A and B are shown apart, each in its own frame.
Chain A
């Protein structure tokens, strides 16, 4: 029930509503729970309300976690999974190129 869907704001309707789009669907969304919004903002919508503005991911979070995993792995395995930049990244989520 806590499902929330990312939308992009396409119009500000009044001080507490906006129109926002997800794919081809455009809906009226309440913005009471956010301090400010503007056209173009990416928002997370739950039960008709924007509950947060989404930030672009810069990958630092994942990078940091995977560094820690690699460090841990090096202490667990006789042979570390990766110790060279020449081999594929350890992180299964990392881009392949």
Chain B
């Protein structure tokens, strides 16, 4: 028998795809890894891979940035948050611009650093702007519990947290977006487990695979999605078992549910989505920046021509946005998909347009 070699992933994907197929990666970290590793170059022409709304910075609404800018303008207030959020434009510039004008805006890498700042500087009112999905919300919850325990009255949180299953529910029901399969976010799934996604295959016939972030793990996830589609047996399957337990992290969810309650929330370009955000429960309202400080109520949305909403839902690819590359670039971003390193516009610009790693 002549010796044969194992097929490459590209060959395997080409053999499994039997019709024009649309897959979407939901997580921004997947988006970057797909570009960085040249995975798109391996895809057969029948397979379209879209980037979804999986970058928390990108989906932070202009109204939320405006609220943050309003907080930063108050005397005696220190605003703390993760670095990516600083450059997202609001109605009157970004938090970075505000810092340039003298506002006390500081970067932290963890919510607990924000609380430490408050404990160290009792004369300041320290606000933590808390973006992020289910991966990040439990850590904010843990810090709020600690703030309550330590009676840190000069600490508060502006919750910008958002939830992944509700936005997937909206995408799945969108008749203009016929997605056959979803590459689900690995680290959101560490917290959620598999069950919260079950409506996708059961109600919408969408194939689902939870995958890690290395090139081989992503390719394996895409292969599994095509296998489910080819056999017409959509399900939720995890291929990231070293980190994701089927039941998720129950303790993290318990902390999150103790501190937060689901609320309707604004998503950049998508509008207000039902039960897709997290607000502090009544017991924690003394630490809610939205209660402690006056915030703008309904700020006018600025019309920039930015198509981030269409890009976040896979209706447009970044180069199809009229602002892409001119004038919107990572150095001078118009919309948040170009701001965050995990935004699909920034990834296209860096890896596909410029071709530099």
Question: Which chain A residues have a beta carbon within 8 Å of chain B's beta carbons?
Answer: 1-4, 16, 30, 32-35, 44, 46-49, 51-52, 54-57, 61-62, 65, 68-69, 72-73, 76-77, 81-82, 84, 86-94
Contact = CB atoms under 8 A, between A and B. Distances in A.
Interface of B: 1, 3-9, 12, 15-16, 27-29, 54-57, 82, 84, 109-113, 131-133, 135-136, 138-139, 142, 185-188, 190-191, 216, 219-220, 223-224, 227, 230-231, 237-239, 241-245, 249, 251-252, 255, 340, 342
Given A1-B132, A54-B242, 19 more contacts: A1-B55, A1-B135, A2-B136, A2-B185, A4-B135, A30-B139, A33-B139, A33-B251, A33-B252, A46-B135, A46-B139, A49-B110, A62-B239, A65-B223, A65-B227, A87-B3, A90-B7, A92-B216, A93-B216
B342 A1 contact: yes
8 contacts: A1-B340, A2-B28, A30-B110, A44-B187, A52-B243, A62-B220, A65-B220, A87-B1
Given A1-B340, A92-B7, A92-B8, A51 B191 contact: yes
B4 A82 contact: yes
Contact of A55 (B109, B239, B242): B242
A44 to B, nearest CB: 6
A65 B224 contact: yes
Contacts, number: 150
Contact of A56 (B133, B188, B242): B242
Contact of B190 (A4, A48, A77): A4
Contacts of B28: 1-2
A44 B139 CA distance: 13
Given A51-B187, A51-B190, A76-B15, A2 B56 contact: yes
Given A34-B251, A92-B216, A47 B136 contact: yes
A32 B243 CA distance: 17
B239 A65 contact: yes
Contact of B249 (A33, A76, A84, A94): A33
A52 B6 contact: no
A72 to B, nearest CB: 6
Contacts of B191: 51
A37 to B, nearest CB: 12
B111 A1 contact: no
B227 A2 contact: no
Nearest to A91: B6
B58 to A, nearest CB: 9
Given A2-B188, A51-B191, A69 B216 contact: no
Nearest to B249: A52
B4 A46 contact: no
Contacts of A91: 6
B155 to A, nearest CB: 16
A89 B139 contact: no
A88 B6 contact: yes
A87 B241 CA distance: 28
Contacts of B242: 54-57
A65 B58 CA distance: 34
